[in-house]
Each structure stands twice: as structure tokens, then as C-alpha cells.
Amino acid sequence: MQRFQCYIDGEFLDGEARYQSIDPATGKNWADMPEAREGDVDRAVNAAEMALYDGPWSKMTATQRGKLLYKLADLVAANAQKLAELETRDTGKIIRETSAQIAYVADYYRYYAGIADKIEGSYLPIDKQDMDVWLRREPIGVVAMVVPWNSQLFLSAVKIGPALAAGCTMVVKASEDGPAPLLEFARLIHEADFPAGVVNIITGFGASCGAALSRHPKVAHVAFTGGPETARHIVRNSAENLASTSLELGGKSPFIVFADADLESAANAQVAGIFAATGQSCVAGSRLIVERSIKDRFLNLLKDKAEAIRVGTPLDMATEVGPLATKRQQDHVAALIDKSVQSGARIVTGGQTPDGEGFYFPPTILDCDGVASPSLAEEFFGPVLSVVAFDTEAEALGLANDTRYGLASGVFTQNLTRAHRLMKGIRAGIVWVNTYRAVSPIAPFGGFGLSGHGREGGLAAALDYTRTKTIWLRTSDDPIPDPFVMR
């Protein structure tokens, strides 16, 4: 059984306790993990604060920080296959996805390496004589980062990269479900020669680790990716330290297909949008909103594609859909399908938990047209697509916006003016037109409503890890007049 450790203040350490991690493909224990608790959290945060204000990191130039990020990017690229295999083993995400995604993660670190010495202050043309005023951008402070198990090396890169570019230090909490790749990533931080305490990586459970981290008095900002309920706990905890927050909380993303769309292209995008990563993606296109005149044709096309998907062992490069990450996730998906069927939804394909070991669930399509199905409102975080039909553009827009979430959306049409109207009208942080799931380090990523606030990616993300300091300099050599002498 493989054994992993936390990384605190430049050292690899056991947590206050240990637990075992489960291989989703078999349902059996495969690795021994450190369980960080409040004492470990306190040590990690104190190390981050020391590095921020007193250690070598505090004296580095922005260009030197950028060079360390470039070195880290090269190490990620060189170790991508090993990291991919660990992520597949510990989370069930298929190897063909983890391999491609982690190779691209290196580009995120390269992007923020280049940004490190581009974070500029400004000079203010102040309305007072004999005064020069500048704004400096300085690191916001010690950052707590709470990262989920799905796509964790990507979802940590979009936090770690900009925070390091801005000069922050951090404590990263990997999910207790599948933390192996992030704990292994700590070895690359160590090999890249980041000063001790700059990046600390731990794992542990919410009540004993996550809560202690998010409310710690020395934490200035909390960056979280996960579900709304956990986010509410984090926001309540941040009332203790008044830390700012950035929250990326998933969604119930609409995927709109008009009759004039290239249906083969739209179907391929829909399959990728809902069944890739076994549906365990915050931007999963889980609500298909399709024009009624093509609904049956498009649904048949999707059914054929879904039933042709190869479900299998995640370490096999031929596998297209692997297991869900946990037994509780498998149970959640099955229970929500049952509720939806009871409300009138019709199973087009899939829908049944398979026999055998592991946490597998087949690609599933639910026809929910004309019914108030729970599957249209609640996030499955699994390979389940819910389908409704529309007759008019206004109806399609209304259905798209009929959600408490607002992260991503897709629109498939050849009508340019219609596309522009929908880009403007859809209430979501991302609108993909005639494509889906495209991401880049250059483009901001984030949502509205229950999908959270703040953005990851792009220059704006690095600026979010800074705070401004206003510098006033009096340029006159004349003495300041006595304020109590009348003239």
C-alpha cells in the first residue's frame, strides 16, 4: 500500500492521524494518507506567514518568482504521466483525460510565470499641490486553498499559479477523497526550490482540517472549489478572520441546440460536455435544451453515441468513461435518478447501477420534457443528461436561466444574430458558442449565483491575490504650517 505525507514548511510529515484512500475502480483501499488536524493546520499557516514576511521569498524580486514558476512548469510537464496515473488511481478519472489535462496544467504555470513581473502599480494625478501619490500592489497575504478531488491538479494550478505570481504564500488542502496527486505534486514544489513555507500541502477532513484552515486568524484569503453547502461553511468561518473569498461552486449548465445547428457537431460536444470525466465536472452540460422540431432526431443520435461509449477500468487508454470517485457519489446519482423518474422523467438509456466492484455508473439520458423533474434543478455530478424541448428562442432563454446556478452554458446555432442575443441574455459566467468545455490560462473562468464569485485564469486572477497600498509623498521642502495658527 502506497504511503503519502503532508508537506509543511519544506518538510514531508505525517499528519496527526492516518486514513486509507479507496480505489474507485475496485472499491478497495490502496493508499495510506496523512490526516491533518488543527495542530498541523496551525503549523502550516504559521510557516506560510513566516515565509511571506521574513523568509527568502519576501526578498525575491518578481522576476525571480517567475523563474521558479517556469521551473515548476517544466517539472510538471516532465512528471505529467506519473501524476496522471496517481490521479486516475485515486479518483477514477480515466487516464486518457488525466494525461492530457496535466500536460496542459504546465501551460498554466508558464502563463503565470510570465505574469509575475507584469503586475504593476500606478501613479495618481492627485488634486493636491506638492504631492506625489502611487499605488503599490502587494501580496494579499497567506492564502488558504481548498481543492476538490476532481481535476485537482488543474483546479489547484488556477489558484497556486496566480497566487505565487502575486507573491503570496499558501496552504493547500487537498480533498480527503483522492489527494494522492496533490501530495505528490508537493515533491515538485520541493524540487523546484521554492523556499520553505511558501507552498504547504495537506489533506484532512472538513470538520478537523478544513474548518481550522478557513477560520485561521492568519489567513487573509480563502480560494475554494466545491459545492455550495461547503462554501456556506467557509463563508461563515471567514467571519472569524474577515478573510476575502473566491468561490467556484459548480453548476447546472444549459446546452441549447437550435434546429439550424450542425447536429453531429452539437451531439459530439454534448457527449463530451456531460459524459467526459464521468460527468464529474463543474461545467458539465447537464441540461440539454433542444428545439422541439429536432428533439427526437437529436435524442436518438445522442442515445446511439452514449450506448457506444466504452465504460471500463480507468487506467486502460481505451476506456472512455470510468467510475465515479466515491460510493457516496454513486449512491447520490442513483437516488436522484429514482426521484426524477418518480416525478415523470423517462429513462432513454442507462439509469441503473451496474453489478460488480467499483463505483461505476453508465452514461444516462433522462427525457424530462413537460415534467418538473429534480434532475433539472439538482447537480448530479455524474454522467446524467436531462432533456427538455423548446419552441421559441425566448422559451429557450427562459429555460436556460431557470436555475440557481450560473457557471457555464453552450449555444449551438448557425444564426449569428441569434447567437449574439443569447450571449447577452444567458446569465452565466461562460458562454460557449458552437463549442463546449474550451479553457485557457488566458481566459477568466467563474460564475454567478450558486456558482460562486471571483474568477480564475487570466491576469485578473493574479490581481485578485493582491491588495493596493497607497503611498503619499510630499515634495515640498517648506515646513508644514501649524494647523492651529490662523492665517
pLDDT tens for each residue of 272-318:
999 999 999 999 999 999 999 999 999 999 999 999 999 999 999 99
Percent of the chain with pLDDT over 90: 98
How far, in Å, are 94, 174, 361 from residue 318 at the CA level?
9, 29, 17
Which is nearest to 48 in space by CA: 208, 153, 160? Answer: 160
DSSP-assigned states of every residue in 236-272: HHHHHHT-EEEEE-----EEEE-TTS-HHHHHHHHHH
Cα–Cα distance, 153 to 63 (Å, whole number): 24
Provide the pLDDT for residue 262.
98
Cα–Cα distance, 183 to 28 (Å, whole number): 20
Q: 435518478: which residue's cell? A: 337
From 3.40.1110.10, 3.40.250.10, 3.40.50.460, 3.40.605.10, which CATH number describes the 2-248+457-472 domain?
3.40.605.10
Side-chain-facing half-sphere of 406: CA atoms under 13 Å: 16
Q: Is 248 a catalytic residue?
A: yes
pLDDT digits (tens, 9 = 90+) for 226-282: 999 999 999 999 999 999 999 999 899 999 999 999 999 999 999 999 999 999 999
pLDDT digits (tens, 9 = 90+) for 96-124: 999 999 999 999 999 999 999 999 999 99
Q: How far is CA 146 from the centre of its chain?
A: 10
* Domain locations in the chain as residue ranges: 2-248+457-472, 254-433
- In the predicted structure, residue 35 carries a pLDDT above the cut 90: yes
Cα–Cα distance, 329 to 270 (Å, whole number): 22
- In the predicted structure, residue 487 carries a pLDDT above the cut 70: no
Which is nearest to 408 in space by CA: 452, 355, 467? Answer: 452
How far, in Å, are 4, 35, 48, 103 from residue 68 at the CA level?
25, 29, 17, 18
Average confidence (pLDDT) over 22-31: 96
At residue 70's C-alpha, the angle toward residues 69 and 75, to 5°, is 95
Average confidence (pLDDT) over 205-228: 97
Selecting among 248, 291, 379, 456, the annotated active-site residue is 248
Q: Which residues of 133-155 are buried (b: 16+ CB within 10 A; e: fewer)?
A: eeeebebbbbbbbbbbbbbbbbb
H or E, element range at 411 = strand 410-412
Is the domain defined by 254-433 classed in CATH 1.10.10.10?
A: no
pLDDT digits (tens, 9 = 90+) for 429-447: 999 999 999 999 999 999 9
